[in-house]
Amino acid sequence: MSYETIYKNSISDPVDYWEKNAHLIDWFRFPQEILYRDEDDLYRWYRGGVLNTSYLALDVHIKNGKGDRIALIYDSPVTGTKKKFTYSEVHSAVERIAGMLTAFGVEKGDRVIIYMPMIPETAFAMLATARIGAIHSVVFGGFAANELALRIDDAKPKVLLTASGGIEVQRIVSYKPLVDESLKQATHQVENVVVFQREFLKADLLPGRDHDWASVVAKAQPTGYTEVMASDPLYIIYTSGTTGKPKGVVRENGGHAVAMYYSMKHVYGAQSEDVFWAASDYGWAVGHSYIVYGPLIYGCTSVIFEGKPVRTPDAGTFWRILEEYQVNIFFTAPTAFRAIRKEDPEGRLKVRYDTSALRHLFVAGERCDVSTLNWLRELLRVPVIDHWWQTESGWPMISQMTALGLYPVKPGSSGKPVAGYEFRIVNENGEECRENEEGVLLIKYPLPPGALPNLWNDTSRFKSSYLGSYPGYYFSGDGAYRDAEGYFFITGRIDDVINVAGHRLSTAEMEEVIASHRSVAECAVIGVFDELKGQVPIGLVVLKENESISEDEIESALITMIRNQIGPVASFKKALVVERLPKTRSGKILRNVMRAIADHKAYRPPSTIQDISVLPEIEALLNQKGIRKSPNG
């Protein structure tokens, strides 16, 4: 069937559509009801269904005689390590770790925080937690101690799994001191911390609380899978919120499994023996969906890459991986290719490698600028597909559905809606936007299987954040417009969450850190266009009266504070001292106006502005500092 037919069927009768797709995975008991409302009046999928996600990712393939197929390939140019694991070998490692967790008293429904680098053991830990019906929350290793503490207090884990450290290009990141500091800051007390000791860095262990990974896993009894309900949570993944408090997005087992299989088949066009590589991190939604669960549930080989697109050792690393492992489908953020292009603009390193196994390249995380997209198409000679989704959805919402045939790509557009997703674009009055008119992107509720059903222990925030503004629709938080042919163009966040190299970060949280400096009277953080990372934050600070600190000193201090309290991932490198900030009469800082000024976009000062003369001052400063840059493409 054609894309148009499939899409219409998914919208006209979603219950029938998602019942048929549910039959593609192995249930212990098939759901009794496909779509229903729960006690909070929220939609859920697959009532009464019983399954286990780890079983789907491993046992099913072994039962089907494919245990000797390679499941995971680990390539770490920063440590010089390469390993391959069959489905049977992963199964054995996962059962051991599941036994270790069980020995520490972890039971169905308990939480396990995983604060680990890009190593195979992290994937094993995720699958082991799912195997016993517990709930994992993977925290990106680049986050600072207080970020980890926030997540510990919210998830209240019984066990925390970590490693002694990770490696950046030219530095070692010691995880254990960050874990220790986070546990000092957290109110919730974690009973057991298990540390995977890496060869290049040995961590000190606290007697009684800390345990050596290798020792406890060696003693553990292999543990089988636990049957769970479709509605039982598989994991919590935290995403930045505009209040500064992270939102715990819940992913439940049933809908997630269906969505993973469905998206691998229809969106990415995978075949069961394909090599699939998502160059991301476990700590982000991409890492959950398309390093671990999606490829393994579908029976593919997945690549785990511990390195960077450049300087590990050079800008040809990605091309080497594509050739060496005969990668068929590749997915990463445009930021990676901007970094490669910056170091090798002519693509000369690419000619050293044969990437002919590659069928499709997918990019997401932030908009892929036209220049980069065209550069990639010319260099790789394969379809380059810019697609759009969110942590909340867990899988693509706007994309080519490659299994149904490709329609022409429009650079700058993410394409057309994926089956199951029905969109509206409305203006500030809630009225339908015309073609090519930018507005707020809404999605008809209920969302398809796999998307978040709720936030962790925060139903009221889920309803107010996502469902409260436009009854019957999910509020995406993104702006967009649609052209006459039905292509969607995502224009960026409309709130104060910015997208730095595909990582959603809260400007409110950064402002909280900056405001804590003794010399700062008030501040604003805005995201401005950056050719490499999509957006980067800059701080505008008003100093207290009679402060003698220099602009260089305050900038250096604030950069250090953000790095220590949020992490290097924030890419905070600019802080400008201003006399005043533009505000409404009610005191609201006009961040959106400053963003527009910085990005050379048209803006209309609100009638409620206190003093319009402040805007030329901001513009002059941004020009003077070389910050105003127009997005290319």
Residue 220: phi and psi, rounded to 5, are -75, 150
> How far apart are alpha carbons 529 and 568 in whole angstroms?
18
Q: Taking residues 114-143, report their average pLDDT.
A: 95
Q: Residue 25: is its pLDDT beyond 50?
A: yes
Asked whether residue 142 carries a pLDDT value surpassing 90, the answer given is no
What DSSP string runs through 132-179? TT-EEEE--TTS-HHHHHHHHHHH--SEEEEESEEE-SS-EEEHHHHH
pLDDT higher for 210 or 509? 210
pLDDT at 544: 86
Indicate the pLDDT class of residue 607, thresholds 50, 70 and 90. Answer: low
Reference 297, options 255, 249, 236, 345; nearest CA is 255
| pLDDT tens-digit series, residues 153-204 | 999 999 999 999 999 878 899 999 999 999 999 999 999 999 999 999 999 9
Residue from 362, 372, 378 nearest 339 by CA: 372
The CATH number of domain 497-624, selected from 3.30.1490.20, 1.10.260.40, 3.40.50.920, 3.30.300.30: 3.30.300.30
Task: Tell which wins on pLDDT, 624 or 11.
Answer: 11
pLDDT digits (tens, 9 = 90+) for 236-263: 999 865 455 789 999 999 999 999 999 9
Is pTM beyond 0.75 here? yes
**In the structure, what pLDDT confidence band is assigned to residue 630 with cuts at 50, 70 and 90?**
low
Residue range 380-390: mean pLDDT, rounded: 97
Q: Residues 201-209: what's their mean pLDDT?
A: 96
- Per-residue pLDDT, 327: 98
Predicted confidence band of residue 440 (pLDDT cuts 50, 70, 90)? very high
The more confident residue out of 532 and 315 is 315
The pLDDT of residue 383 is above 60:
yes
Strands 534-543 and 520-530: antiparallel
Query: Taking the mean position of all CA atoms in its chain, how far away is CA 153?
Result: 21
The pLDDT score that the predictor gives to residue 365 is: 82
CATH class of 3-307+387-463: alpha beta
Q: What is the average pLDDT across 305-322?
A: 96
- Whether the predicted pLDDT of 326 surpasses 50: yes
Domains 3-307+387-463 and 497-624 are alike in CATH topology: no
For the four alpha carbons of 384, 386, 387 and 392, in that order, the dihedral sign comes to positive
Q: How many CA atoms lie within 13 A of 207 on its CB side?
A: 0
pLDDT of residue 11: 98
pLDDT at 584 over 60: yes
Mean pLDDT of 426-454: 94
Domain boundaries, the chain: 3-307+387-463, 497-624
Residue 494: per-residue pLDDT: 78
In this structure, how many other beta carbons lie within 10 angstroms of the beta carbon of residue 350?
17
Residue 506 has a pLDDT of 74
Mean local confidence (pLDDT), 13-42? 98
Share of the chain above pLDDT 90, in %: 75
Query: Mean pLDDT over residues 64-79, rounded?
Result: 97
Q: Which residue has the higher pLDDT, 316 or 596?
A: 316
* pLDDT reading at 48 higher than 80: yes
User: Average pLDDT of the chain?
Assistant: 93
Residue 12: phi and psi, rounded to 5, are -75, -35
* Rounded Cα gap, residues 254 and 251, in angstroms: 9
Give the model's pLDDT for residue 548: 87
Higher-confidence position of 331 and 511: 331
Would residue 127 be called left, alpha or beta, if left means φ above 0 and alpha means ψ between -120 and 50 degrees? alpha
How far apart (Å, rounded) are the C-alpha atoms in residues 568 and 241? 19
* Residues above pLDDT 70, as percent of the chain: 97
Residue 243 has a pLDDT of 52
pLDDT at 448 exceeding the cut of 60: yes
- With beta carbons less than 8 A apart as the criterion, state whether 370 and 412 touch: yes
What pLDDT was estimated at residue 629?
60
Q: Which of 120, 121, 132, 158 is nearest to 53 (CA)?
A: 132
User: How large is the average pLDDT for residues 522-540?
Assistant: 89
pLDDT tops 50 at residue 633: no
How much is the pLDDT for 338? 86
The predicted pLDDT at position 395 comes to: 98
324 pLDDT above the threshold of 60: yes
Residue 438: pLDDT band (50, 70, 90) is: confident
